[in-house]
Structure 1
């Protein structure tokens, strides 16, 4: 049985392809490394997870695909399961942006020895991009993937330096205005929708925190609508 990936994992796989070895941190069922190795897109992979149960499911799938010699499973947290320079690329996908930041910060020597970091934060994307810029990484590629109403942001980074010239780059992707991804407007519309929910929930509240959030979200919606208009012209 061939592994079929979701649109999100397909885009992540395309970002990894081209290196000899990779590690999937928080692998869950192990679909990504099995797909990459099974299709000869990488020659060796490490699948790790903090929980034994999903790792056992990954081991079953790896065994079914007869890839035990090429894919190793490891139990542990973040980059602690790796040695510096052990693999060429690391994937951290399906986690919060704050958690990805903390895992990179916990093992900086391991993180900086990688040719590629392929990161797919579920939230706090701006925080993660700010961390990368401040911590000796540069974003070399930004991708988007759509599943239903959700648009996922995939960030590919490597050791280096970069400069953000537009504050909206933290929210919409590094140099988004140059690359104009086909799903960029869909991403903007999704962000507007989420901010509108915040506006509605804080409009009638009188606390200082709520008033500040209402103002910030309203201003952000205005900026996003302005970018959307520019992209549509």
Structure 2
């Protein structure tokens, strides 16, 4: 049985291609490692998760596909399952941007020796991009995937220096204004929708926190609409 990936995982797989040995951190069902090996996109994968239950499901699929020699499973948190220099690239997908940042910070000796990071944060993308910029990584590729109403952001980084000159790059992707991804407009519309929910929830409230959040979200919506108008013209 050939594994078929979701649009989100297809984009991630394409970003990983070219590395011989990778680690899929938080592998969950194990579909990505199996797909990468079956399609000769990588030679070997270390698939890890913090819980036994999803790891057992991944092992079941790996065994069914007879890929035990190419895919090794490990139980543990983040990069703690790896030795420095053990893999070329790491995938961290389907988790929050703050968690990805914290996992990179927790094992700096491992992170520093990685040649490629393929990151798909579910939220707090701006925080993660700022962290990469501050810790010696440069974004070499940004990609998007759409599933239903949701647009997923995929960030590919490598060791190097990066300076973002436009504050919106943290929110919309490094050099978003030149890449003009076909899903960029959908991403902006999704972000506007989410910020509008915050505005509705904080409108009329008098606490300092609510007032600040209302002001920040309202200003962010204005900036996003400005970018949207530029893209449509």
TM-score normalised by L of structure 2: 0.99
The farther-off stretch of 25-34 and 203-212 is 203-212
**Structure 1 residue 175: Cα displacement:** 0.6
Q: Which residue of 1 aligns with 2:34?
A: 34
Q: Where do residues 61-100 of structure 1 align in structure 2 (5 Å cutoff)?
A: 61-100=61-100
**Structure 1 residue 231: Cα displacement:** 1.0
Q: Is the 8 A contact 1:24 1:91 kept in 2?
A: yes
SS at match of 1:9: helix
**Structure 1 residue 40: Cα displacement:** 0.6
| Separation in 1, partners of 2:32, 2:73 | 13
The runs of 5 or more residues in structure 2 that have no matched partner are none
Q: Deviations along 1:3-58, whole A, 9 cap, x unmatched?
A: 00000000000000011111000000100000000111101000000000100000
Q: Deviations along 1:134-175, whole A, 9 cap, x unmatched?
A: 011000000000000000000000111100000000000001
Q: Which residue of 2 aligns with 1:8?
A: 8
SS at match of 1:99: helix
Q: Is the 8 A contact 1:112 1:158 kept in 2?
A: no
| Separation in 2, partners of 1:34, 1:112 | 26
| Separation in 2, partners of 1:217, 1:208 | 14
Q: Which residue of 2 aligns with 1:20?
A: 20
Q: Which residue of 2 aligns with 1:137?
A: 137
Query: Paired residues, what number?
Result: 233
| Separation in 1, partners of 2:145, 2:111 | 24
**Structure 1 residue 232: Cα displacement:** 1.1
| Separation in 2, partners of 1:162, 1:172 | 16
Q: Which residue of 1 aligns with 2:202?
A: 202
| Separation in 2, partners of 1:108, 1:122 | 22
Q: Which residue of 2 aligns with 1:103?
A: 103
Q: Is the 8 A contact 1:199 1:218 kept in 2?
A: yes
Q: Deviations along 1:150-205, whole A, 9 cap, x unmatched?
A: 00000000111100000000000001001011000000000000000000111121
TM-score normalised by L of structure 1: 0.99
